[in-house]
Structure 1
Amino acid sequence: MGHCLSCFQNQANADITTSPHRKKDEMTEIAVPVSVYPQEEPLLHDNQNSINNYRNSSSSQISVSGEQSPGELLNSQKSNSVSDKIPKPFYQKLPSIPRTMSSLGSNDCRISETKINQLFDQYKDSLEDAILAEGIENLCNDLQLNPDDFKVLVLAWKLNASQMCRFTKSEFILGLKGMKTDSIKGIQHKLNEITSELKRDTEQFKDLYRFTFKFGLDVSIGQRILPTDIAIVLWRLVFTSNEPPILDRWLLYLEKNPHIRGIPKDTWYMFLNFCEFIGDDLSSYDDTEAWPSLFDDFVEYENDQVNQNIKKSDIKTQD
């Protein structure tokens, strides 16, 4: 660290030719056992010759302009002699990586905010700085999707849209940056990736499921309970790819009971746990657990339907 190769070479020569317990005029008496370091014998002879040549030379040969001291000249001669004997490295300096190759991985993630802004302007409303129902419909056409497609819900989730039929400018820009895309083709590609991932990643799906409730609310009027008709549509939509066995019976129950006018957030959230817990068999349902009362009513209704079917089958059998 911090030392060049010549520094180590000078140090090696100093270790061979000098000793901290000897004077300079005793250096000629130093001998290194040849049997231990046979490969360094020529190097020692060269160093010894350099020392003798220096002692026999006249002091007038020293350049006046340089005014080197005898010790400095000796070190310089030894360094030159040793460097001639050191073999060059067997490897060559690697060429620098071309810029296009070194940045190959980062180019795919380089998103242009200018392109995102241009894309937003293409679909935004003429009077409001947001993409509204008509613009979203045009966007869906370019994405080759129906407005009620599951992938449109996924897009709204990734944009963190605050309500249906409306994408604000900040939601659109930040959302596409998060998706790492700035084009229609890029959005299509990302939606395909995310949709496939949702089938495997249950935690991501749960996040989408929770978002869907908030997405369905009309925040302009401070709505906190999802209207039942909207809830039915969103339940069918969010379970497009992984429909639970109980879903159809649950939605049919809601449609047959018009007095159920809204779905609170806790009921929406707990329905996912309800589906995971009971599967396709309501026999495992325990009404003493802390389930929403709407689930109790639904299970009771389903059990009554089953009992009625059993009684009717018994009557037919007796006939």
Structure 2
Amino acid sequence: MNESGEDMAKSNEKRLDKCIEQAFQSNPEFTTWFLSRTGFANDAGVYRWSRSDNPWSTHPQETIDPATGEPVVKYVQSETDILVVFSRPNSGPFALHIENKLENGSFTSGQPERYKSRVTYWLNNPKYGAYVDFETVLIAPHVFFEKHRIDGEKFDRYVSHEDIAKYLPEFRTSGRGTDDDRVNFKIVAQTILRAGIWLIRHGYGRLMILPYAAPSGLYWRCAFHPPECFDEDVYRYTSGTKQMVLRGDPDIVMSSTMTPQALAELIAERAPRDVLALCEGKASQAALDWLQQFEKVLDEGYIPEAFNNDDDPAAERWALLGDDDSVGKMASQPGYRVPS
């Protein structure tokens, strides 16, 4: 594989790492199913903390000295792909250390063995979630597991990409990233708009939602802003960034597991404090009534656009764009004014 191919594979693997982490964070159905495949199936585990940025450390590893045949301890460096920690009602927290492999991947020498020694070394360490129990889990396509079964069985559990794909479509192609399996524009737009709705209903009742097309007509955009403050963004998105819905550390990429509430909470967490404060307050009854109408429009599959009215581009009614190129209209958000 050439360098660009290796880079692409690594990028796809990281994308799937983040996807499954977000699923644990925001998809209880997936979490319950995944835990049912582990030894913690009956522990009523609740998501507590996670990392998918390859946490690593130096740790002791017992090996056999080839010269003497005696066990010796050496210090090695290694990493976990995805670390997820869960709380449970009747005992201390437990962790899943997940190794993610793509179809054409491979194990490095001693990698499965280092998982066991590393995760044991991290027990009770607050830096890694202070877990008191753990399992190691290999997730990979069937073809990878069959090819590397001896090393694969050194993990406590194996869960196939094919099974995960029943919940997370991104895993259908083992991370090769075909366009068919990526989250499409409508899902991205709908999730963003519903995140705005969630914020209005949960303490940011003065927040304004502004969906519109770029002047070129090539991109759909959406901004959340305080009343009458079009240049002060709580949040802004352009379809030019595709599935990248929130920049930061880390960047947030839309996946099939991302819920409007999860995105809304991330937006609120990263928004400028002073700008977000201007949106605080209880939503008016007119705004709440409009949200119901807005949700109905979204349920019907439409995506709204301001400034897209053939009769009067400056009108305060928004255009509704459907799958079949149909165009409808809806009232704009109460308090909305066309920017001058």
TM-score normalized with structure 1 length: 0.25
Name the larger-Rg structure: 1
- Which one has a larger percent helix, Structure 1 or Structure 2? 1
Question: Which structure is higher in strand share?
Answer: 2
Q: TM-score, length-normalised on structure 2?
A: 0.24
